[in-house]
Amino acid sequence: MITGKLHVADNVLVLVRIDHEEPYWAEEAAKHLAAEGITVEITPRLREAMDEEWTWANYPMPWCTRSEIREIANEAQKIHDDIRHGHLLIHAHAHDGHTTVAVGTYLGRHGKSVYLHGEDHLRQVADTFDSPAQALLAFEKVHAADLRPGPAPLTDSERAAAEARTPFALTTAKPEPARPKPETVPAYLANAGDHDALLDTFLDAHGEWEKWRTWSDETTHAIHESQTLRIERVHEAPAHETAWTVAAYATPVSDRMWVLTATGAAPASVIQELLDHLADGDGWDTAIGAPVDEKTVTAATQPLSDAGWKHTMDGRWIRWTSPTGDAGVQFDAFTAQHPSQNLATWTVWAGPDPGRPTWTLTASPHTPSSLLADLCETLAHETGTRQVQPAGRERGTILVTTPAVAANAAASRSR
């Protein structure tokens, strides 16, 4: 395949696809940019690739037109991207004797569970389910003998696509200027530190946890050997967006009992305390259906009260605020009465004010009070370091196309 560039400004966007259709989609991107009034220059090599006609060798659906083949491949590409970016969580996979099959769930409030059939540009959604439990039960019924947890190993196309992105990430990296000496601050005001290193250290020290997607440069999934506790770590998540999700289940195929999330700017000491608690196999269990009462709330927040945090009540809200007013914990008594919905009953924040937090942590009703108490202990008594981050500069855009699988493409299609 041909590598080329669409020159727009100073930044570089890399286009890599598992269906080897980079030239076609680069041309589509150029058309949209031109429609917005942006001048686009297409290099001769890329233009040659755009004009080149080719067909897949031994395509399994020979009755499809070129346009239909491209449409099928694009749907497969969307599934691939959803998995890579952590939007589609793969619970298990198997080989049905012909190809790879898998079962997963789209994350989000109304996420559906799906049965996937095929690999690379042929992967399709073959069936949908109302819940992860229903999907896993149906999948296990058919593929029990060959079922394996998590996503399947990378195909040659997926591996080559990941490798194709790596050189651009390395070449666009810029050395950071020298930073001022860090200052010691309360834990909740500390910098986030290296979350990825924290997770790697945790997994290296605890063999009962298994990584699901070590290949992904976007998301890592880890599961406890009991298959009832799961961690999702979204790498490079923006500071105000969810970077960590921890969920507990009564059984491997049941609905979750509780869920906790933290944003990308959460301080390292808070994340470390969370992981330390998860390392205790008895520390994250909880009884299904146990009500969240005054005793539970008191136990969870006792460290804040002992440290002199201000305690107020306002209708459905119960709040604890740090003496300096730059951090707080909020309990929503209303959502606590709807535990089956896994709503955010607890909210921890730090920053200028609750409406403009630097980072947040949320937890559902049945999150263990011992876990919440440990986190509150960290907020109330631990310290960390903080230093001013250098401001970045704005840049323009260059759209770059690059071959996803040069060798594999040559073997897969005839020109």
Residue 308's φ and ψ, nearest 5 degrees, are: 85, 20
Same domain, 380 and 402: no
Determine which helix (DSSP H) or strand (DSSP E) holds 13, and give its type and residue range.
strand 12-15
User: What 3-state DSSP class applies to 307?
Assistant: coil
Same domain, 303 and 373: yes
Residue 87: left if φ>0, alpha if ψ -120 to 50, beta else—which one? alpha
Q: Within 10 A of 349 (CB to CB), how many other CB atoms are there?
A: 22
Same domain, 325 and 241: yes
* 367-394 pLDDT per residue, tens: 998 999 999 999 999 998 887 655 444 4
* Integer angstrom CA distances of residue 355 from 316, 340, 349, 360: 18, 27, 9, 11
Q: Longest Cα pair distance anywhere in the chain, in angstroms?
A: 74
Name the pLDDT band for 287 (thresholds 50, 70, 90): very low
At 183, the amino acid letter reads: E
Same domain, 379 and 236: yes
Name the pLDDT band for 29 (thresholds 50, 70, 90): confident
Structure tokens at 372: 């919440």
Please report the DSSP string for 338-353 in residue order.
Answer: -GGGT---EEEEESSS
CA distance 86 to 298: 36
* 158-196 pLDDT per residue, tens: 888 777 766 555 555 555 556 567 889 999 999 999 999
Total domains in the chain come to 2
Name the pLDDT band for 290 (thresholds 50, 70, 90): low
Alpha-carbon Rg for the chain, nearest whole angstrom, is 24
User: What 3-state DSSP class applies to 72?
Assistant: helix
CA distance 290 to 339: 9
Nearest to 192 by CA among 91, 269, 304: 269
pLDDT for residue 301: 95
Query: Is residue 322 domain-resident?
Result: yes
Same domain, 399 and 335: no
DSSP lists the bridge partners of residue 247 as 230, 259
Same domain, 237 and 367: yes
CA distance 273 to 382: 11
Same domain, 369 and 401: no
At 412, the amino acid letter reads: S
Same domain, 230 and 312: yes
CB contact at 8 A, 26 and 8: no
Query: Is residue 40 domain-resident?
Result: yes
Query: Is residue 254 domain-resident?
Result: yes
Name the pLDDT band for 84 (thresholds 50, 70, 90): confident
Same domain, 376 and 292: yes
CA distance 189 to 192: 9
Task: Report the pLDDT averaged over residues 30-49.
Answer: 79
Query: Is residue 165 domain-resident?
Result: no
- 147 vs 399, higher pLDDT: 147
Same domain, 71 and 146: yes
Same domain, 257 and 135: no
Q: Look up the domain containing 95 and give its range.
A: 4-159+395-414
CB contact at 8 A, 73 and 61: no
DSSP designation for 283 = S
Same domain, 105 and 25: yes
